[in-house]
Amino acid sequence: MFKKIVLLVLFLVTPMMAFSLFEEKVTDEAYINVITSVKDVILVTAKTRGLTNSFNNGNVAAQLLVYAQREDMEKDLQALESAGKKAKLSEANMKTINTLQKKLKSLNNKAFRKNPEFVFAAYTAFIDDMLQFNNTIIDTYFKGSNPSMYKPLYMMNNILLPLTENIGKLRGMGSGIVARGRCNANETPKMKHFSEEIEKYRLEMAAYYKSNGCQRFSARKLTAFNKAIAEFTKLSNEKVIGKSTISLDANEYFEQGSASINNIVGVYDGMLQEIKKRL
C-alpha cells in the first residue's frame, strides 16, 4: 500500500518538476520592456495633460488632439499590462499597474468637467506615481544583480524623464496661458519653477554624459539638443511667464515644447539601444 502511495505521488509530482525545469526564465529584456512601457505612458499622459489644459483655457482646436492622445494612451496602457505579464511581475506590481490604469481612465473621463488647475495637478500626480513605479522595477531587478545596467536605467528614469516632464509642465501650463492670452499671478511662480527644474536636469544630463559618454551621440548632437531646450525655456521666460498680454499661437508654442521633448526621447532611445547591445 505504501509503495502505491509513493508511486502515485511521483506520478503527480514528476510532470510538475519537469515543467519547472523547462519553464522559460524571465530575461532582463522583459523587465526593460516594462520600464520603457511605463515611459511611453508617462509621455502620452504629459501630452494629454498639456492639450487638455490648452483646451480648458480656450483653445477649442485642441479637443480632437486630446481624444487622439487618449486613444494612444489606451494602447500604451495595454502594452504596459502585457509587458508586466511577460516579465512575470509580482502580484503587488501587477495590482499597482491595474490601479494606475483605473486612475488614469477615471481622470480622462472627468478632465473636461473639472477645474483646469485640478486636472493639471491630477495628471502630474499620476506621472509622479509612474516614475516611482519605474524606480521600483529598476531597483528590484537591476540594482543588486546588474549594476552596469542599473546606472544608465536609473539615469534615464531620474534625469531624462524628469527633464521631459518639466518641459511637459512648461509646455502644458504655458499653452493654457497662451490660449487665454495672459499669465495669472498664481501661475508665474509655477512656470518659473518648471524653467528652473529644466535647467537643473539639463545640467545633470550634461554631467552624466561628460563622465560616462554615450557612443550614439556626438558632442555636437548633444549641443543641438541643449540648444533646443534653451530656446523653448527662453521663449517661455521672455514671452509667457508673468505676461499680462500674450500674442503667441498656443498650438505653435505647444509644438515647440514637444520638439524639445522629442530630442530628449531621442537621447533616451539611444541609451536604450546601447543597453540592449549588452543583453
> What per-residue string of b and e applies to 188-207 under the rule 16 or more CB within 10 Å gives b?
eebbeebbebbeebbeebee
Model pLDDT, residue 15: 54
d(CA 235, CA 250): 13
Model pLDDT, residue 87: 97
Angle at 244 between CA 238 and CA 250, to 5 degrees: 65
Model pLDDT, residue 78: 96
Amino acid identity of residue 151, one-letter, is K
Model pLDDT, residue 217: 73
d(CA 35, CA 28): 11
Model pLDDT, residue 3: 55
Asked if 22 and 218 touch (Cβ cutoff 8 Å), the reply is no
Asked if 202 and 229 touch (Cβ cutoff 8 Å), the reply is yes
pTM value > 0.85: yes
Model pLDDT, residue 6: 46
pLDDT per position in the chain (279 positions), as tens? 555 554 454 555 555 554 444 556 889 999 999 999 999 999 999 999 999 999 999 999 999 999 999 999 999 999 999 999 999 999 999 999 999 999 999 999 999 999 999 999 999 999 999 999 999 999 999 998 888 899 999 999 999 999 999 999 999 999 999 999 999 999 999 999 999 999 999 999 989 988 887 767 777 878 888 888 999 999 999 999 999 999 999 999 999 999 999 999 999 999 999 899 888
Quote the cell numbers at residue 73.
494612451
Quote the cell numbers at residue 61.
482646436
The DSSP 8-state label assigned to residue 140 in this structure reads I
Per-domain residue ranges for the chain?
25-277
Quote the cell numbers at residue 103.
486612475
C-alpha distances (whole Å) from 41 to each of 48, 91, 149, 220 are: 10, 20, 22, 30
